Structure 1
Amino acid sequence: MSVWIGVDLGTQSVRATAVADDGRVLGAAGRPLTSRRDGPRHEQDPEQWWRELAAATREALRDVPPGRIGGVAVDATSGTILLADRDGRPLTPGLMYDDRRAADQVERVNAAGAAVWEALGYRRMQATWALPKLLWLLRDAPEGARLAHQSDFVNRRLIGREVATDLSNALKTGVDLIHERWPGEVLDTLGVPAALLPAVVRPGSVLGEVCAEAAAATGIPAGTPVVAGTTDGCAAQLGAGALTPGSWNSVLGTTLVLKGVTRTLVHDPLGVVYSHKAPDGSWLPGGASSTGAGVLARDLPGRDLDALGRLAAERFGERSGGRPGGGRAPSATIYPLVSRGERFPFAAPDAEGFTLGEVDDDVDRYAAILRGAAYVERLCFDYLDLLGAPADGEVILTGGATRSAYWNRLRAGVLGRPVTLRENAEPALGMALLAAVGAAARDAGPGRTREASREITARMVRTREVVEPGGGDLTEHYLRFVGELEDRGWLPGPAAAHARARSSLERTAP
């Protein structure tokens, strides 16, 4: 049985996991990362990425026989870049995924690339995307500088030579995902030298093998295949096992992120949904909301959330009508914006949180926040349906919110369908799975990527529970929430009308 190494290079830490073919975790370790923040700037030291990755992999592999290791893949934060020299040494800090220093470059980027960005479905870039940051870096770039995404930097250290970048991490740098190449005319217009750019490959492609120097540092045996990874969001989707068209991974932590699978590219007139490309050539559309569980820590500081969940279940219940044992129907909904402005399922930079109805105590407040997050999740699916994205497959819930059994039942009830919980869904598992898929495709041919993905996912991704809907019929509460968003001018009329139409169809369905 082979062992696959997945590395999640996140914002606050790097985590390495060694996973067997059957999904058992044989070793795992993490190391913290430090950031420097100054107003719109957010930087990290690329050398720290490598040091802590090496320390984490050494610990994770401590009890794993070296002869069983079949491959390694690394994910990274989306839009994090730096400039490196010809030997892979960093010339700049790593400009992180949310660094906004290049805001003055966005108009120029969107003017030059309008046709390409429109064809790719997302229509426009944002200040935090990598291409505006690259233009900012190029103002003082020395001769011979090379672009490196966060994952490229560590992959080069693993292999010991220049490496290709993956299409997923290159998305926000402007790569043409349809033709799988850099858009030369756009980049020429922007003054980006072709020699600065790495080659591009699909996630899951074998980039090379671990070199002797990296083996000594990381504990990964020399000669181990290094497989091109993805962004951390796509890695989480892989770890959740959402790999077939129509299936979706809904990640609810501090904020809400949805990612799914489609055969064809989704085009969004609002530009709030954009798509990555999967290893098999299908598309991975998704969007990130600014709502989520982060509001619980802000609005209920120091409270025992598990206890509030139990009290909410007793008060509102999970039976039809929401009135078990003399309880009462829910009356309040809170729109749980973590920060000002919404990104998905609509774009409203001035949006602010609000409360519909009366909140009597902390139990009411807790339940109202959970309902609001569930309604935003439902509205995301309604909007995706409006865009023509299939959503009839499995819905897999991951993220910190899945620790609440009450919230899981509530979300299933609002969505009106069962939801799946996984045993060990995390980005590092997704990268271990991708390492296995990449090795299988290399050995059997790239035409077998889709089949290999399904077979390996079935072995490595384990289901913990399937949760049936609970909490009664909350359709009227949901539609009131939709109407409030529309009345405030944030939710476009066609999206609100489609949400009402879908609710009406579901109510009349046999």
Structure 2
Amino acid sequence: MYYIGIDLGTSACKFLLVDGAGTVSRTVSRDYPLYFPQPGWSEQNPQDWWTACMSGIPQLLEGVDPAQVAGIGVGGQMHGLVALDDQGQVLRPAILWNDGRTAPQVDWLNHQVGREVLSRHTANIAFAGFTAPKLLWMAQNEPDLFARIHKILLPKDYLVYCLTGAYATDYSDASGTLLLDVEHKTWSREMLQLCHLREDQMPALHESWERVGALREDVAQALGLSPNTLVCAGAGDNAAAAVGTQTVGDGKCNISLGTSGTIFISSTQFRVDPNNALHAFAHADGGWHLMGCMLSAASCNAWWCDNILGTSDYAAQQAPISQDKLGRGHVYFLPYLMGERSPINDTDARGVFWGLTMDTTRADMTQAVLEGVAFAIRDSLEVARSLGLNIPRSGLCGGGSKSPLWRTILSNVLGIPLDTMATEQGPGYGAAILAMVCCGAFDRVQQAAQALVQVKNTVEPQPELVARYEAKYQKFRQIYPACRGLFATLAQD
């Protein structure tokens, strides 16, 4: 049998055809636009996601017997607001995870409602990317549209709705709305009331591997699939990627170096960071996880190369950076191009090069970008360590993980081995594994991940380089606090 895994990303939707042994037989990708209608805003048209499915899946299935495709799983970008009317039509463009317009609403939630109240009801505090502040923004700025909301979905849930007709979500994705009681896995009545919402406007809650429904007959015909094909609830992209890197069960860690950067620590027990610098979310394996998320990770390197240097040859820019230069140099980079979430929660933060001199080279600045992202990921790792968590190694995935230089930098900045997997397909592969569990090929997510996911290679930290990066990280930590007041002042201009 075959299974389809869908990775609904920020810049493209990727489709994977996976056989019962976990081998990826074919992949197809479809791009779509990202809109920035005002500074700090980030939106997409949900119809573009569905159009990508309608063309991508048939291409994925060319030459495949539709009866051999048992199930579909979707992993997708988290936190985005998709608002539907009573006809199932999209009311406005989706407001995405990296949208920063909700600073006033976040301030009201964290300081007027109060962080302690939010944490008690949801295990988290408000961040600009979360869904609840977006709904408050919509209520205040688009009241007529807000009044017409019939259902609220997250991005991957919109695809599930188009596939099955069901309004559904899973616990991992719902955790990032600030509307879920994460510990008890139920919608928080208190938070819904604060956001002027009713529970019937929310999608039904499921474990990630649970069946939502089968394909609608018209959709099955259009896609070239059997109407008996099952669709599971799926997962938020980070939870799905964690499944695809065997970050399941207790005490496992995975780092994703994608458009955003995340550090993901799985647990069989519910726990909360008392300072709420890390997110406390449900996991796609039925447990929970702590997660730190930075808004700009590999996208920092893309910005530097594409927009500033005018090249798409990233490897060529990294080639002059030899091993002896790592951990040395006086140039630093704050990677806050979209503001920042974990652990500083500052929508006013911005990207900064620090320490430029007349002898600074292009390679120095490229190295600073790669190191700055690694240092920012370590900021979240240090929060986890402060909770007494022992993290001896981690998986690594995402587009940035394809760079040998960046893997080396990150391993030595963190001081731990980093494993990359034989199948580097991120959320789409985890989504396919969830579909396998949904269809009965495995009993549990953990069993499936352990059977199917294999380590391809490991980068080991080097003691001398770890020491150099330790010294440089301690200097990096001083830059943001020195700039914080200035960021807030300049944001008022």
Q: TM-score range by the shorter chain?
A: 0.7 to 0.9
Q: How does 1:275-424 map onto structure 2 within 5 Å?
A: 275-290=280-295, 292-293=297-298, 294-295=300-301, 296-297=304-305, 300-302=309-311, 305-313=314-322, 315-316=324-325, 330-339=328-337, 341-347=339-345, 349-350=348-349, 353-355=352-354, 360-392=360-392, 394-423=393-422, 424=424
- Aligned-residue offset at 1:121: 7.1
- Aligned-residue offset at 1:104: 4.0
Instruction: Give yes or no for the alignment of 1:133 onto 2:142.
Output: no
Whole-Å Cα distance in 1 between the matches of residues 312 and 226 of structure 2? 47
Instruction: Give yes or no for the alignment of 1:455 onto 2:447.
Output: yes
Whole-Å Cα distance in 1 between the matches of residues 274 and 233 of structure 2? 31
- Aligned-residue offset at 1:454: 2.8
Instruction: Give yes or no for the alignment of 1:164 onto 2:168.
Output: yes
Residues 255 and 264, structure 2, Cα contact 8 Å, conserved in 1: yes
- Aligned-residue offset at 1:468: 2.3
Instruction: Give yes or no for the alignment of 1:90 onto 2:108.
Output: no
1:155-213 Cα deviation digits (max 9, x unpaired): 122123x3322222222331111111111133234421233222212222111111211
Deviation larger for 402-411 or 175-184: 402-411
Q: 2:464 is matched with which residue: 469, 472, 476?
A: 472
Instruction: Look up the match of 1:436.
Output: 436
Instruction: Look up the match of 1:59.
Output: 59
Letter aligned with residue 279 of structure 2: Y
Residues 292 and 336, structure 1, Cα contact 8 Å, conserved in 2: no
Instruction: Look up the match of 2:489.
Output: none
Instruction: Look up the match of 2:184.
Output: 179
For residue 248 of structure 2, give the secondary structure of its aligned residue in structure 1: coil
Letter aligned with residue 124 of structure 1: I
Aligned-residue CA RMSD in angstroms?
A: 3.1
Whole-Å Cα distance in 2 between the matches of residues 454 and 104 of structure 1? 41
Distance 1:232 1:217, change over 3 A: same
Give TM-score, length-normalised by structure 1.
Answer: 0.82
Whole-Å Cα distance in 2 between the matches of residues 377 and 240 of structure 1? 18
- Aligned-residue offset at 1:274: 0.2
Whole-Å Cα distance in 2 between the matches of residues 333 and 266 of structure 1? 37
Whole-Å Cα distance in 2 between the matches of residues 35 and 343 of structure 1? 20
- Aligned-residue offset at 1:232: 1.9
Deviation larger for 397-406 or 72-81: 397-406
Residues 122 and 273, structure 1, Cα contact 8 Å, conserved in 2: no
Residues 180 and 201, structure 1, Cα contact 8 Å, conserved in 2: no
Distance 1:120 1:241, change over 3 A: farther
Deviation larger for 53-62 or 397-406: 397-406
- Aligned-residue offset at 1:128: 3.1
Deviation larger for 121-130 or 295-304: 295-304
Whole-Å Cα distance in 2 between the matches of residues 15 and 340 of structure 1? 24
Q: How does 1:30-41 map onto structure 2 within 5 Å?
A: 30-39=29-38, 40-41=40-41
Gaps of 5+ in 1: 317-321, 323-328, 493-510
Letter aligned with residue 226 of structure 2: P
Q: How does 1:141-156 map onto structure 2 within 5 Å?
A: 141-142=146-147, 145-156=150-161
- Aligned-residue offset at 1:24: 1.5
Instruction: Give yes or no for the alignment of 1:485 onto 2:477.
Output: yes
Letter aligned with residue 386 of structure 2: L
1:58-117 Cα deviation digits (max 9, x unpaired): 111113222222211112221222322344233333233334444443345444575553
Whole-Å Cα distance in 2 between the matches of residues 426 and 438 of structure 1? 19
For residue 162 of structure 2, give the secondary structure of its aligned residue in structure 1: helix
Whole-Å Cα distance in 2 between the matches of residues 397 and 22 of structure 1? 22
Distance 1:133 1:121, change over 3 A: closer
- Number of residue pairs aligned between Structure 1 and Structure 2: 470
For residue 261 of structure 1, give the secondary structure of its aligned residue in structure 2: strand
Letter aligned with residue 311 of structure 1: P
Residues 240 and 425, structure 1, Cα contact 8 Å, conserved in 2: no
Instruction: Give yes or no for the alignment of 1:245 onto 2:250.
Output: yes
Whole-Å Cα distance in 1 between the matches of residues 105 and 379 of structure 2? 32
1:200-236 Cα deviation digits (max 9, x unpaired): 1222211111121110122232111110011222222
For residue 72 of structure 1, give the secondary structure of its aligned residue in structure 2: strand
For residue 289 of structure 2, give the secondary structure of its aligned residue in structure 1: strand
Whole-Å Cα distance in 1 between the matches of residues 100 and 373 of structure 2? 27
Distance 1:67 1:147, change over 3 A: same
Letter aligned with residue 454 of structure 2: R
Gaps of 5+ in 2: 485-493
Whole-Å Cα distance in 2 between the matches of residues 476 and 32 of structure 1? 40
Instruction: Look up the match of 1:105.
Output: 105
Residues 249 and 260, structure 1, Cα contact 8 Å, conserved in 2: yes
Give TM-score, length-normalised by structure 2.
Answer: 0.84
Deviation larger for 251-260 or 335-344: 335-344
Residues 100 and 338, structure 2, Cα contact 8 Å, conserved in 1: no
Letter aligned with residue 9 of structure 1: L
- Aligned-residue offset at 1:477: 4.2
Instruction: Look up the match of 2:14.
Output: 15
Bigger Rg, which one: 1
Instruction: Give yes or no for the alignment of 1:193 onto 2:198.
Output: yes
Letter aligned with residue 362 of structure 1: R
Whole-Å Cα distance in 1 between the matches of residues 467 and 432 of structure 2? 40
Residues 113 and 186, structure 1, Cα contact 8 Å, conserved in 2: no
Deviation larger for 227-236 or 476-485: 476-485
Distance 1:104 1:225, change over 3 A: same
- Aligned-residue offset at 1:351: 6.1
Whole-Å Cα distance in 2 between the matches of residues 185 and 239 of structure 1? 34
